[in-house]
Amino acid sequence: MSQIYDLILHNISLASFHFESKDDEINNPYGIVDNPVICIKDGLIAGIFNADDPLIDKLETENSIDGQGQWVTPGLIDCHTHLVYGGNRANEFEMRLNGKSYEEIAKAGGGIVSTVKATREASKDELFKLAAKRLSYLMDEGVTSLEIKSGYGLDLKTEQKMLEVAEELNQFSGIEISKTFLGAHAVPIEYKDRADEYIKLVCETMMPELHKLGLIDCVDAFCEGIGFTIQQTKRVFEKAKELGLPIKLHSEQLSDLGGSKLACEFNAWSVDHLEYLNCDDIKHLKTSGTVATLLPGAYYFLSETKLPPIQALRDHDIPVAIATDSNPGSSPCLSILLMLNMATTLFKLTPSEALKGITINAAKALGIDNTVGSITKGKQADLVFWDIESPAELSYQIGGNPCKRVIKKGKVIINKNQ
Ligand code: NIG
Ligand code: FE
């Protein structure tokens, strides 16, 4: 107790999302800690004490925050975004409302490849400004870690440009951005009807080059009728494995090709979307410890009616993450709190399941759960203060933003209490 802490937080309610055991998680699904005082040192949580502990008076600090009874949760984590892109697709939104389907638009040369055109044409500076603005909305709601995918370049130069923008955002924003290479997102126009040759470019040129530049934390692909086949996806995963890179997959979004099963064979960090996931394949997620990432924004915005197999995921005790999937085509969404609401209303997750989906389980989906995602001694001090009376309010309320203060690595980066 003799050490001097950098920051002490008191007069707060704490939903830590830290669980000592499965029983603990069942009995206390928000990981609530009674009467807590959080001590921070060198950007880490140095200890959590009980405010009634007589030793509390002896704690020394240069700085303390009276939380005025506000709730504190871990910093939120958006584990699936396509935040860097040029243009928008409001025209396609209008086409869909006039009767065309997402797949029809994609097959007619719209969809992902139309964003590819805009992203190739945009300068790095323009892409940075657009993405920084999008990121500011997410951070304003308490996001302290997020993932950004490439995949709107589909050539080496533009994929590199996108991932460099993600890296610059990482340095500029002070929050951690995990960079995912999604070269196998769609077949670019110049490779029309030559998907296998494009996959060769992805595997033999783009992935190794970008990896050499340190721009890849994880490799993703879009396994789908309008994306890539199982065989093509497998080639991408084999190359990632050879380079020692972890993988994840857009799978079973519009149909069941068996992508999740394949991804689990490669120990995927996560499989994402999953509306068409076959219940029989859930056992593979269990074996490989893969997170099921659900994207209610895309489900909603594409007016999908087939629900992911939520009860079966629950029955198999698969960790479920929730993310915005922020992108111009299927989920033009810049609100993680709205996703929390949709995860409960559309997918029937309980409020604590939904919150786990944007904290501890989202951290697992990014392979960063050793350092973030819950509030416990030794983890990074990434914390959000909320002006709410119970954690369920975060998924209950639609609109409004009760985020009052954000602490990243022990430093206050947002304070709306003044
Ligand atoms: O996650 N499914 C593939 N990729 C994105 C959509 C991209 C787009 O339409 O621009 C998704 O939904
Ligand atoms: Fe996506």
Ligand 1 mutation target, pool 114, 150, 185, most atoms within 8 A of CB: 185
Q: Ligand 1 centroid to 162 CA: how many Å?
A: 16
| Ligand 1 atom nearest 329 alpha carbon | 9
Task: Please check whether residue 236 is in contact with residue 202, taking contact to mean a CB–CB distance below 8 angstroms.
Answer: yes
Task: Please check whether residue 249 is in contact with residue 223, taking contact to mean a CB–CB distance below 8 angstroms.
Answer: yes
Mean predicted confidence (pLDDT) in 117-133: 98
Give me the architecture of the 76-365 domain, per CATH. Answer: Alpha-Beta Barrel (3.20)
Q: Ligand 2 centroid to 388 CA: how many Å?
A: 31
| Ligand 1 atom nearest 250 alpha carbon | 2
The residue whose C-alpha atom lies closest to atom 6 belonging to ligand 1 is 330
What confidence tier does 418 reach under pLDDT thresholds 50, 70, 90? confident
In 32-190, alpha helices (H) = 90-97, 102-107, 112-121, 124-140, 156-173
**Residue 184 CB less than 6 A away from ligand 1:** no
Whether 4-74+374-415 and 76-365 share one fold: the answer is: no
| Ligand 1 atom nearest 224 alpha carbon | 2
Which residue has better confidence, 4 or 183?
Answer: 183
Q: Which helix (H) or strand (E) holds 231?
A: helix 230-243
pLDDT tens by residue, 163-209: 999 999 999 999 999 999 999 999 999 999 999 999 999 999 999 99
**Residue 250 CB less than 6 A away from ligand 1:** yes
Q: Which CATH superfamily is domain 4-74+374-415 in?
A: Urease, subunit C, domain 1 (2.30.40.10)
pLDDT at 3 over 90: no
pLDDT at 1 over 70: no
Which sequence spans correspond to the domains of the chain? 4-74+374-415, 76-365
Q: Ligand 2 centroid to 80 CA: how many Å?
A: 6
**Residue 253 CB less than 6 A away from ligand 1:** yes
Torsion of CA 302, 92, 257, 225, to 10 degrees: 160
What confidence tier does 2 reach under pLDDT thresholds 50, 70, 90? low
Q: Ligand 2 centroid to 63 CA: how many Å?
A: 41
**Residue 329 CB less than 6 A away from ligand 1:** yes
Task: Please check whether residue 294 is in contact with residue 274, taking contact to mean a CB–CB distance below 8 angstroms.
Answer: yes
pLDDT at 112 over 60: yes
> What is the pLDDT at residue 393?
98
pTM of this structure? 0.97
Mean predicted confidence (pLDDT) in 303-312: 97
pLDDT at 150 over 90: yes
Lowest mean pLDDT among 96-105, 162-171, 259-268: 96-105
Question: Distances in Å between the alpha carbon of 224 and those of 13, 217, 258?
Answer: 44, 23, 9
